[in-house]
């Protein structure tokens, strides 16, 4: 693929991969909050898909295509649904939490497949995004989306970093190790989990809206269980040591996926499986543990 003459330092395909990686990284950042509390969500694609469809609906029904408005509305819709569902999910732990989240995601998938107004199984295309009401030139669209995505991701990462340093955020490891002791200390583990679930949902919704903007098309497969599996893969690949880790993991995942698919379209899943197996064996705490070990020895 040739490079765009007006953007010699970065080809269009690279900007697309980086933008999608940021979108996935936002979802994995939400999973980081849950993983620190010992919770694994197999249905995070629920909020990812809600954010994407919210962004698509803005353009389809209200002619609103500003990228920041799309991400804001996508995150708000996902956060609202997560807030409601959180009253149920915050009661469960372990495999029950994971399977219940998966079931809810598949319910959304089934509803979207049956909804002809939203394109059913085919989904629908969305118009190219604008930036503060201005539509960039075609060769600058991906660049504008990438810069906007990076700015929003930086703000989200900073907010999560600040949250993790608050008393409520510091409860996560304690909930994972001994929830009963947390309750004896006077803190509400259920409330802490509920807050983390809402934050994870909002981040996933923002990521879904961003992905819809980058790809230009949305469909029910965004809520399918395999999509949630990709996010879990990225979260495990990255580790939970830093708010930067999910974005690094998402970029590495996207690179492996693109390279493996280009070399062997029929067996690219095998390459991802081998990568995950090697990671679990040699780096059980994720790729970020490499940086942590280096910092300790330096």
Domain CATH for 80: 1.10.3470
> pLDDT per residue over 57-80, tens digit each?
998 888 888 999 999 999 999 999
Residue 293 lies in a domain: yes
Asked if 124 and 52 touch (Cβ cutoff 8 Å), the reply is: no
Q: Would you call 131 helix, strand, or coil by DSSP? A: strand
More confident residue, 282 or 161: 161
- Counting the structural domains of the chain, the total is 1
Asked if 121 and 219 touch (Cβ cutoff 8 Å), the reply is: yes
More confident residue, 221 or 266: 221
> pLDDT per residue over 103-136, tens digit each?
999 999 999 999 988 899 999 998 888 888 788 8
Q: Give the pLDDT of residue 256.
A: 84
Residue 6 lies in a domain: no
Residue 172 pLDDT > 70: yes
Residue 121 lies in a domain: yes
Instruction: Give residue 33's pLDDT band: very low, low, confident or very high (50, 70, 90).
Output: very high
CA atoms within 13 A on the CB side of 110: 6
Residue 53 pLDDT > 70: yes
Residue 4 lies in a domain: no
Residue 2 lies in a domain: no
Say what the pTM is: 0.91
More confident residue, 8 or 105: 105
Residue 149 lies in a domain: yes
Q: Give the pLDDT of residue 178.
A: 87
Residue 185 pLDDT > 90: no
Q: Would you call 168 helix, strand, or coil by DSSP? A: coil
Residue 5 lies in a domain: no
What domain range includes position 25?
12-297
Q: Residue 153's Cα: distance from chain center in Å?
A: 11
Residue 151 lies in a domain: yes
């Amino acid at each position: 693929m040739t490079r765009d003459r007006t953007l010699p330092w970065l080809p269009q395909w690279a900007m697309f991969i980086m933008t999608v990686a940021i979108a996935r990284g936002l979802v994995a950042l939400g999973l980081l909050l849950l993983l620190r509390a010992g919770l694994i969500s197999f249905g995070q694609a629920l909020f990812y898909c809600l954010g994407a469809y919210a962004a698509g609906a803005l353009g389809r029904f209200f002619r609103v295509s500003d990228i920041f408005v799309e991400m804001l509305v996508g995150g708000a819709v996902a956060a609202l649904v997560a807030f409601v569902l959180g009253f149920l999910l915050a009661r469960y732990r372990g495999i029950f939490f994971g399977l219940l989240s998966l079931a809810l995601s598949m319910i959304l998938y089934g509803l979207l497949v049956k909804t002809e107004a939203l394109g059913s199984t085919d989904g629908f295309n969305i118009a190219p995004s604008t930036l503060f009401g201005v539509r960039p030139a075609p060769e600058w669209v991906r660049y504008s989306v990438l810069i906007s995505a990076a700015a929003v991701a930086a703000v989200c990462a900073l907010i999560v970093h600040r949250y993790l340093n608050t008393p409520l955020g510091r409860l996560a490891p304690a909930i994972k190790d001994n929830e009963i002791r947390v309750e004896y200390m006077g803190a509400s583990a259920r409330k802490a989990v509920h807050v983390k679930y809402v934050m994870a949902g909002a981040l996933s919704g923002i990521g879904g809206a961003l992905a819809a903007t980058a790809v230009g098309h949305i469909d029910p497969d965004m809520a399918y269980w395999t999509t949630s599996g990709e996010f879990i893969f990225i979260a495990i690949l990255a580790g939970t040591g830093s708010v930067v880790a999910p974005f690094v993991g998402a970029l590495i995942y996207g690179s492996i996926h693109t390279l493996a698919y280009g070399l062997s379209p029929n067996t690219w899943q095998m390459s991802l499986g081998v990568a995950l197996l090697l990671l679990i064996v040699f780096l059980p705490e994720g790729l970020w543990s490499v940086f942590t070990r280096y910092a300790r020895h330096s």
